[in-house]
Amino acid sequence: MKRTMHDTHDGSCAVAATAEIVATKWTPLIVHDLSEGPRRFMQLEHACPGISPRTLSERLDMLERQGVLIRRSYPESPPRVEYELNDKGRALLPIIRAMRKFGREWLISEPAKRHDAAAH
Protein backbone atom coordinates (compact mmCIF):
# COMPACT_ATOMS: atom_id res chain seq x y z
CA MET A 1 0.00 0.00 0.00
CA LYS A 2 1.38 3.39 -0.99
CA ARG A 3 1.71 5.92 1.82
CA THR A 4 -0.30 9.07 1.04
CA MET A 5 0.50 11.21 4.08
CA HIS A 6 3.59 13.23 4.89
CA ASP A 7 6.42 11.42 6.66
CA THR A 8 6.19 13.98 9.45
CA HIS A 9 3.28 16.09 10.64
CA ASP A 10 4.95 19.46 10.21
CA GLY A 11 3.72 22.85 9.01
CA SER A 12 2.91 21.44 5.57
CA CYS A 13 0.60 18.75 7.01
CA ALA A 14 -3.08 19.65 6.52
CA VAL A 15 -4.16 17.52 9.50
CA ALA A 16 -1.65 19.23 11.80
CA ALA A 17 -2.74 22.66 10.54
CA THR A 18 -6.42 21.84 11.18
CA ALA A 19 -5.59 20.40 14.60
CA GLU A 20 -4.08 23.80 15.51
CA ILE A 21 -7.65 25.10 15.41
CA VAL A 22 -9.91 22.23 16.49
CA ALA A 23 -7.66 20.50 19.02
CA THR A 24 -7.39 23.49 21.35
CA LYS A 25 -9.51 23.01 24.46
CA TRP A 26 -12.90 24.76 24.24
CA THR A 27 -12.49 25.73 20.59
CA PRO A 28 -14.79 23.05 19.09
CA LEU A 29 -17.48 23.99 21.64
CA ILE A 30 -17.19 27.67 20.77
CA VAL A 31 -17.41 26.92 17.03
CA HIS A 32 -20.35 24.57 17.70
CA ASP A 33 -22.20 27.28 19.64
CA LEU A 34 -21.50 29.88 16.96
CA SER A 35 -22.95 27.51 14.33
CA GLU A 36 -26.41 28.76 15.34
CA GLY A 37 -25.55 32.39 14.65
CA PRO A 38 -23.91 35.40 16.29
CA ARG A 39 -23.31 35.22 20.04
CA ARG A 40 -22.22 37.67 22.68
CA PHE A 41 -19.38 36.94 25.09
CA MET A 42 -21.71 36.15 28.00
CA GLN A 43 -23.75 33.73 25.88
CA LEU A 44 -20.61 31.85 24.91
CA GLU A 45 -19.39 31.85 28.51
CA HIS A 46 -22.73 30.45 29.67
CA ALA A 47 -22.67 27.74 26.95
CA CYS A 48 -19.25 26.49 28.13
CA PRO A 49 -19.55 25.84 31.89
CA GLY A 50 -16.11 25.86 33.48
CA ILE A 51 -14.40 28.14 30.97
CA SER A 52 -12.79 31.19 32.52
CA PRO A 53 -13.46 34.61 30.98
CA ARG A 54 -9.73 34.92 30.27
CA THR A 55 -9.60 31.59 28.42
CA LEU A 56 -12.73 32.42 26.42
CA SER A 57 -11.25 35.77 25.47
CA GLU A 58 -7.99 34.08 24.40
CA ARG A 59 -9.85 31.49 22.29
CA LEU A 60 -12.00 34.15 20.61
CA ASP A 61 -8.88 36.24 19.86
CA MET A 62 -7.13 33.16 18.45
CA LEU A 63 -10.11 32.28 16.24
CA GLU A 64 -10.29 35.87 15.00
CA ARG A 65 -6.53 35.89 14.19
CA GLN A 66 -6.90 32.56 12.36
CA GLY A 67 -9.71 34.01 10.27
CA VAL A 68 -12.41 31.70 11.64
CA LEU A 69 -14.74 34.30 13.12
CA ILE A 70 -15.64 37.95 12.92
CA ARG A 71 -15.84 40.19 15.96
CA ARG A 72 -18.36 43.00 15.59
CA SER A 73 -18.53 45.97 17.97
CA TYR A 74 -21.62 48.13 18.16
CA PRO A 75 -21.28 51.69 19.50
CA GLU A 76 -24.03 51.41 22.09
CA SER A 77 -24.15 52.08 25.77
CA PRO A 78 -23.08 49.69 27.18
CA PRO A 79 -20.95 48.57 24.22
CA ARG A 80 -22.17 45.41 22.50
CA VAL A 81 -19.79 42.90 20.89
CA GLU A 82 -20.88 39.87 18.91
CA TYR A 83 -18.91 36.99 17.46
CA GLU A 84 -19.92 35.20 14.28
CA LEU A 85 -18.43 32.48 12.10
CA ASN A 86 -17.28 33.58 8.67
CA ASP A 87 -16.93 31.29 5.62
CA LYS A 88 -13.76 29.70 6.96
CA GLY A 89 -15.43 29.10 10.33
CA ARG A 90 -18.54 27.60 8.71
CA ALA A 91 -16.23 25.28 6.74
CA LEU A 92 -15.28 23.73 10.13
CA LEU A 93 -18.88 22.71 10.84
CA PRO A 94 -18.69 19.31 9.10
CA ILE A 95 -15.83 18.45 11.48
CA ILE A 96 -17.95 19.57 14.46
CA ARG A 97 -20.93 17.54 13.17
CA ALA A 98 -18.66 14.50 12.79
CA MET A 99 -17.50 14.99 16.39
CA ARG A 100 -21.13 15.15 17.55
CA LYS A 101 -22.00 12.01 15.59
CA PHE A 102 -18.99 10.14 16.96
CA GLY A 103 -19.82 11.27 20.51
CA ARG A 104 -23.42 10.14 20.22
CA GLU A 105 -22.55 6.80 18.64
CA TRP A 106 -19.48 5.87 20.64
CA LEU A 107 -19.30 7.91 23.84
CA ILE A 108 -22.60 9.28 25.10
CA SER A 109 -24.98 6.48 24.15
CA GLU A 110 -22.42 3.71 24.70
CA PRO A 111 -23.30 3.09 28.40
CA ALA A 112 -26.98 2.86 27.46
CA LYS A 113 -26.18 0.33 24.71
CA ARG A 114 -24.12 -1.78 27.13
CA HIS A 115 -26.92 -1.61 29.71
CA ASP A 116 -29.53 -2.65 27.11
CA ALA A 117 -27.34 -5.52 25.92
CA ALA A 118 -26.79 -6.73 29.48
CA ALA A 119 -30.55 -6.69 30.12
CA HIS A 120 -31.25 -8.96 27.14
Over the stretch 36-84, which tens digit does the pLDDT of each residue have? 999 999 999 999 999 999 999 999 999 999 999 999 999 999 889 999 9
**Is 80 a domain residue?**
yes
**Is 88 a domain residue?**
yes
For residue 1, the model assigns a pLDDT of 72
**Is 36 a domain residue?**
yes
CA 115 to each of CA 10, 101, 105: distance values in angstroms, whole numbers, following the listed order: 43, 20, 15
**Is 95 a domain residue?**
yes
Q: In whole angstroms, what is the distance from residue 44 CA to residue 34 CA?
A: 8
CATH number of domain containing 78? 1.10.10.10
Over the stretch 5-42, which tens digit does the pLDDT of each residue have? 767 777 788 888 899 999 999 999 999 999 999 999 99
Structural domain boundaries, residue 92 = 14-119
**Is 3 a domain residue?**
no
**Is 9 a domain residue?**
no
Q: In whole angstroms, what is the distance from residue 89 CA to residue 68 CA?
A: 4
pTM for this predicted structure: 0.81
Q: How many domains are there within the chain?
A: 1
